[in-house]
Structure formats: structure tokens, C-alpha cells
Amino acid sequence: MDLQKDYIMYISESYLYAIIVLLNREYRLVFMKKTISIGLFLIISVFVYGIDQGVIINEVASTGAYEFIELHNPDATPIDLDERWSLIDSKEGIADADTAILIPKGTIIEAGGYLVIAPYKTQLLSDAVPEEIPEDVLAVESFWLSSHDELTLMYEDTILESISWETSVNSMGRDPDDPGNFISGVLVPTPGEKNERDPLALGTTDIVINEVCSKGIDFIELYNNGDTDYEFSSGDWTLHDSRRNDSFVIPDGTTIKSHGLLVIYPDLIRLPLSAPRYSIASQEGNRFGLSERDTIYLRYKNSIVDMTSWMLHVSSKGRYPDGSASWDEDLLLSPGKTNRN
């Protein structure tokens, strides 16, 4: 085979690669690995190897309604898979002892289509498929995806693609506007469908997340950067974590003072004795707790207006000074008070 001289170099936000045209097919060769941090909420790594694989990893969820892996066939013809195709799970670069996913013989991904795979482990006293996994999904007893994990797509003994993440991902996948780039935290989970960006409007409101505690009594502190008091309207403002299963709806009529603070306890139905004056407990919506390797989202009318993530449990991660663009993960615990380091 003669390699054509024409080639195009691309610099993506996630990695540097080249697309080399060979007999009218595209081959991607990685020249370097690069990790990125987007909006202080995500660190991912992507490897793409020099093989014309056809099938690609398109979306992954390690948390949410159920764990899933979505494969995509970007070609114009169907692809027939079998047990030579597999998915392997590893944590921190070390292969797990868990069973690999072998794609059943006769599995076909139509042209431009998707295959959704839900990995799971059976419970001690049951071998049943978890009831939250939909019937139209390929459920495979194999492994769990964790908040710090790596997933590898293989054909026989050849690595085709490998992606990793370091925080819980409700949807990590290819950017619909730039399929060569993997993003997370700003995608809507769409198993079996084209990836979709979550509405993002960071920095468009005066209300921001100011402090977070995931260790002990969980709380989220909001700050009003505006010069006037702000009154929340019913259903307009919500908070949720990376699981997105549950959310906290800020009650109608709740007020936050100009350059003031509001502390929210998302997992409590009653305020603790230590709660500051301007605090609310979970009264509307569903309750949720904060965990390590988590992300908290603040939404206004369904758009994400603020968000922050952490790796290990945080006693106090916050903006310093209050309401600023600078974050510090080692502040003194100060719910309802000015952040201090």
C-alpha cells in the first residue's frame, strides 16, 4: 500500500492526533497523550490507536439510572460483531479480575447506529439482571464502572480505543460538535441516540456556588454577587449531583441577600442545630448526598449556570474570596460565613 502524501493535522482540546488518508479510509494515530481539566470538574484521558476499527466508544455512564457503554458505527454500512470484540474494565491503569464483556456473535450495529451495553454484577443471593436496566439494552454480567476507571475496546488482542475518567460520569462521550473530542459533565445521557450537549450558561447569573462540604453534614452554600436581594421563583432553580437521579428544588419565595449567603442541606429534611440563619433543608424535590469524586450542578430554568467537582471528600471547597472565580479545596469550614483559608 502506498501512503498518500496528503494529510491533515488537528489539535483537539483532548489530544493531538493526525488523520491520514489511506485508500480513502481514515486512520487515527496518536502522537501524544494529554490530560485536560474542563471547568475544574473533569480530568479524562483518551487513547486512539492506529487501526481502522469501524466501531467506536461513543458514550459511557458510571452513575445515573444505570451504568452503560454505548458503541457507535459511524460507517455507511452495517457492522457484524462477535466474541472477537470485547470491552475490558480497569481501575488506575491496572486490569481488574472482573469478567470482560464479549460481544455476542451475530450482534449487528446498523449504519450510523448504536449498541448500548449495560455491564452489571449479580448480587450474592440473586443472578437476575437488575430491574433498572431496560429490556432493549444488551445486559452483560461482567463488571461495574466506578468513579475512577478506564474502559478499553479490543478486537482479539489488539487495543482499539481506551478512555478513562477520574470523577463519576453520568455521561462522558464524544462531543456532538467535534466527535474527536471526549467531554463530560456537559452531556445529557442519551443511550442509543446521538450525543446531546446539556444547556450551559456558566457565569450568566449573580447566584453562584460558593462553598461545598461532602464530609460530615453535606451542604452547598450559594452566594449572591448582585447589588440587590434576590428572591427565588418556584421551580426555576435546582441543584443536583453527578448521579442526576435526585435534585433539590429551591423553594419559591426563598431570599438571598445582596452579597449574602444561603446554605442548603440537600440530604436533610430538618436543619441541624449548627445551621446558620439563612439555611434551608430538603423540602421539595428529592434528597441527595454528596460523595467523593462528585460534581454539584446549579441550574436555572434547566441550564447549568454553575458547577464544581472534587476528587476526594472535601470538608470545605469554596471560592476565595466569596463569589470570585478562584477556588480553594482547603478552606476552613464556614457555612453561612465568609470563606477563610
Other CB atoms within a 10 A radius of the CB of residue 303 amount to 14
Q: What is the pLDDT of residue 53?
A: 64
Give every CB contact of residue 148 below 8 A, 6+ residues apart in sequence: 91, 92, 165, 166, 167, 293
State how far the Cα of 335 lies from the Cα of 263, in Å rounded to an integer.
7
Which residues lie across from 152 on neighbouring strands?
88, 162
Three-class DSSP category at 76: coil
Q: Measuring CA to CA, which residue among 49, 147, 173 is closest to residue 89?
A: 147
> What are the cell numbers at 17?
492526533
Strand ranges (E), 156-200: 158-165, 172-175, 178-184, 187-188, 196-197
Look up the pTM and report it.
Answer: 0.76
* Grid coordinates belonging to 102: 464479549
Domain 34-197 is of which CATH architecture?
Sandwich (2.60)
What are the cell numbers at 329?
Answer: 479545596
Cell 486512520 belongs to 27
Q: 5 CB contacts (<8 Å, ≥6 apart)?
A: none
Q: Is 230 exposed, middle or buried (0-12, 13-18, 19+ CB in 10 A)?
A: buried
C-alpha gyration radius of the chain: 22
Q: Residue 97: what pLDDT?
A: 61
Ranges of each domain in the chain: 34-197, 207-328
Which pLDDT score is estimated for 284?
56
What is the rounded CA–CA span in Å between residue 96 and residue 94?
6
pLDDT of residue 130: 87
Residue type for 147, please?
Answer: S
Three-state secondary structure of 193-205: CCCEECCECCCCC
Q: What does the DSSP 8-state code read for residue 102?
A: E
Kindly list the averaged pLDDT for each block of 10 residues, start to end, along the chain of length 341: 30 32 34 35 42 82 92 95 92 60 95 96 76 93 88 93 88 90 88 94 96 95 98 93 85 96 94 94 79 92 94 94 96 96 91
CATH fourth-level superfamily of 207-328: Lamin Tail domain (2.60.40.1260)
Exposure string over 124-153, b if 16+ CB within 10 A, otherwise e = eeeeeeeeebeeebbbbebbebbbbbbbbb
Contact present, 17 and 33 (Cβ < 8 Å): no
